[in-house]
Amino acid sequence: MWWLKNIQVIDPSQKLSSPQDVLVQGGQVLEISTSMTEEEVLAEAQGEPVETINGTGKFLFPGLIDVHTHLREPGQEDKEDILSGSRAAVRGGFTAIMAMANTLPVIDNRALVEFVRRQGERAGYAQVYPIGTVTKGMQGLELVEMADMKEGGVAAFSDDGKNIQNAEMMRLALEYAKLTGLPIISHCEDKELAGEGLMRRGVASTRMGLRGIPAIAESVIVARDLLLAEETGGKLHLAHISTTESVELIRRAKAKGVDVTAEVNPHHLIFCDQDITITDTVLKVNPPLGSAADREALIEGLRDGTIDMIATDHAPHTQAEKARPFAEAPFGIASLETALSAVWQHLVLPGRLSFERVIEAWSYTPAKRFNLRGGSLKPGTSADMVLFDPDFAEMIEPATLVSKARNTPFLGKTLQGLPVMVWVEGRLVQRDRTVL
Ligand code: NCD
Ligand code: ZN
């Protein structure tokens, strides 16, 4: 049994943000109250040993749930695999992750869905929820067997990494997915408008002489998909929103009652196109980092609820791939181990976002939207939780990262505010930054 004393509990599901004592037993949250005596705790324990944690100055919240994680297994295990990725997840404060389907082969049938799910269970760290593709082979031509894949355990459908260019295919996907009750996750990027671009089109791309991707390449598909969701009544989730226009379009669609949720990635909230240098590919990501004004619109959208969730879009790549010239390196940033701390340091500490909103957007809302375990510390729920120390600082170094990937912009930098204990179903899986 665990007794966490006088710890700042943030739990949006119970509207809690105050110092509490928390008891955990048998994999579940047993009790949360403002004061507990030793006699009461020992009576509850009934002879079981009690491990007491002094939580003064620390936070406890439901484990983060990441709805956009690339784990690269099967097929690209040199970048990451399900074991290394789910270990990186718990090191970063995530107790559940949704695994994107753009692997080799892509996850477009039930057997592969079950493979990913079983690998996640075998690893035994963060819960791994497979995402299935929308179309066979991610070719955009023929829908997958959605009902069968739901039986196999998919949490959503997505051709992420690629846009579904054909509007009729997207319409059908939204229509058919209704039968499963699962959302379609859309990677909004018009192929022709994006062209062979390498970063967001603007002053910075012009100055560096790098081919630009216009903002409208995203927003035009956001507009299309919102209209299709309205028309079909299907469930739509928009991945990695990055432009001001997209935020405005989502705000208007929500006002009309369209069944849409949207996510934003930490790197789009922290960096902008001006931070990119041609000699460093680490910030080469899709969608590309926008302008400083876009970053402001995204923060405002997250604050007012237009954007529902934060998601990492953890996109691990090898050092050799990222060492290529800017035009040839792959898009993507690895972020599971640094994302929460980066958001704490760059957005919560400066007062741009409340920590309560961060936990709501990264745990409670993902659990609700994708119907997953977690997102709450209500007594009787599974003890998937994080103890966060705002004073703990760590230099981000290759030797301590448990992900196989090193493509993080925080390498060599110190981050402060980190998860120091993580439990999955009441089982301690990370302590003092070491994955157990
Ligand atoms: C992702 C990847 O590497 O799979 N890359 C990226 O830059 N975000 C694909 C994606 O999420 O679109
Ligand atoms: Zn994507």
- pLDDT value at residue 48: 95
390, containing H or E segment: strand 385-395
Q: Whole-angstrom Cα distance, residue 19 to residue 5? A: 9
Q: Whole-angstrom Cα distance, residue 261 to residue 96? A: 19
Residue tagged active-site, from 313, 389, 391, 432: 313
| Ligand 1 atom 11, closest CA | 161
- pLDDT value at residue 172: 98
Residues above pLDDT 70, as percent of the chain: 100
Calculate how far, in angstroms, residue 40's C-alpha sits from the geometric centre of ligand 1.
Answer: 50
Q: Please name the fold of domain 62-370.
A: TIM Barrel (3.20.20)
Amino acid identity of 262? Answer: A
Is 190 designated active site?
no
- pLDDT value at residue 35: 85
> Where does CATH 3.20.20.140 sit in the chain?
62-370
Q: 303, 289, 426: which is closest to 353 by C-alpha?
A: 303
Write down the pTM of the prediction. 0.98
Q: Whole-angstrom Cα distance, residue 227 to residue 149? A: 26
Report residue 116 CA to chain centroid gap: 18
166 φψ region: left (φ > 0), alpha (ψ -120 to 50), beta (else): beta
| Ligand 1 atom 12, closest CA | 161
Q: Please name the fold of domain 2-60+380-435.
A: Urease, subunit C; domain 1 (2.30.40)
Q: Which pair of structure tokens corresponds to residue 13?
A: 């599901």
Report residue 66 CA to chain centroid gap: 3
Given the CA of residue 332, which atom of ligand 1 is nearest to it?
A: 7
CA 127 to each of CA 124, 155, 310, 329, 340: distance values in angstroms, whole numbers, following the listed order = 7, 12, 18, 31, 18
pLDDT in tens, 95-141: 999 999 999 999 999 999 999 999 999 999 999 999 999 999 999 99
pLDDT in tens, 46-78: 999 999 999 999 999 999 999 999 999 999 999
> Where does CATH 2.30.40.10 sit in the chain?
2-60+380-435
At 157, is the pLDDT very low, low, confident or very high (cuts 50, 70, 90)?
A: very high
Q: Best mutation site among 102, 268, 271 for ligand 1, i.e. most ligand atoms within 8 A of its Cβ? A: 102
